[in-house]
Structure 1
Amino acid sequence: MTDALPIQQAKSRLLITLVVDTSLSMRSNGAIDQLNAALRNWRRELLGDGYLTAVGEIALISFGHDYVIAVDPAGRQKGHVAAPFRPVREFDPPRLEAGGATPMVEAVQYALEITGVRKDQLAAQGIPLAHRPMIWLVTDGVPTDDQGARSDRWRDLAPLLRQQEAGRHLLFYAIGVPGAEREVLSGLAPNSFYHLDELDFMRVMRLVSVSLNAAKNVTRNQSSDEVYADTRDRFARTEEMRIWLEKNG
């Protein structure tokens, strides 16, 4: 019997970026440990999706510990990496550590920057995008400056995100666990924010999975708000089914 052929990267790409909070507050209540466990669990699900392993490229940005860095999503290099995106099939997230302030705005800006750079690189190679790039912000806090003082600079970032969405260039989600402020989340992502009542990063990653599955069916003519509405409906149904199975399974 011959060995199975390796997964070949498709001729088109989906750019996936996780922007995760690793500030000092994530040390409380085992939050950083739960986030690490959720990412490891999500890895198994992600690698089981043949479509995403063929078209997907993933970047992992942390903000807080070590300020804002592009973490190697393949877990091979330490510190900041020069090439943030790796094929989904190589996703093997390293253990994240918590500490420092909450430079949320800078992290989202950096996510937009690396996404734009990667899009240009792919275009230069003649490789189209299979879907709009997707960015998820995951946080338990509010934006601060590098000294830890609260910052309202997110208000300046919101119009840029709306412009990207209106041009069908991007899908952006903001997910908050206890400690995050609804005003900030809804300001950054009016129709695609989720404020969870419990510290549950497994649920956060289920939401990421649902939004990825919804994106597979998006047409070029669909508005971002239509995609967000579909994602919210899918997530509600998924959670209802999960709860039912837990009670009756």
Structure 2
Amino acid sequence: MTAGEPESTAGESTTADDLRLRRNRLIFGIVVAPIGVLIALFLSFVVQISSAWRSTSDGGAAAGPQIVAIVIGLLATVPALIAGIRALRARVLEVAASGATVVAGVGLIAVVLLVIVPSFDILPRAARDADRYAQQQRQEELDDLDSGYGPGSAEEAGQEMQEYVDDALQLLDVEPSTVRTTTWSTSGTTALGNTCRAFHERIRLGDEVDRSSAEKALRASWDTDGDHTGFDERNGRLELSVSSADATISWLKADNVLLVESDCIPSGAP
């Protein structure tokens, strides 16, 4: 019998640990389930009120909080309900198990009726509102092209930058006919989803232009306060941004070239 005594002690310890763990889970469920349900209901009610009054800014903002409300509600009730049912089946801690089962069950019913069921209307409507809002934003971006501020196309941006190119060449005592110029455009998509085009121009100055002199001359000319221009210098690159043209003209010391690049100007709906 002496050899069996440790086994009996170990079995009793395991049972005590299991009961303690079950009790902690049940108590945790009894406490957390109501709190989680209240948070879920609060979030859902705020979403429903905002949707009813259309107070959300982008139309689709209701989807995120509503999904969070569903997740919180289910996480707060389902584990507690499962723990309570398992304890009742095992016939242990029946008082705590009954309390956890009732609290979690009532909470789950409240989440289903007041959070999940309304989501079948809220989430699809939020998706439609988000699409409508995005379409409106894309249209407003296209309408801004007709406002008269900024270029209406990539080609227009390139044309507006030619005076800055001519000024730079004149400053460097370079005849336009003596430089090699390459122009091209690239296509893309704006952040709002409209198709767009960007203008590019590369002017090779040649070895006859002294780089040190060019750097000093361009820095002195570009690094001045302007209403629609801004100067930046980094890694052997001098850059003059022109807000009215939505473009920049840069001098690259390593290549001794002038580079004109416009923003991607919206050109049409996707």
Higher relative contact order (CA 8 A, sep 6+): 1
TM-score, length-scaled by structure 2 = 0.19
TM-score, length-scaled by structure 1 = 0.20
Larger radius of gyration: 2
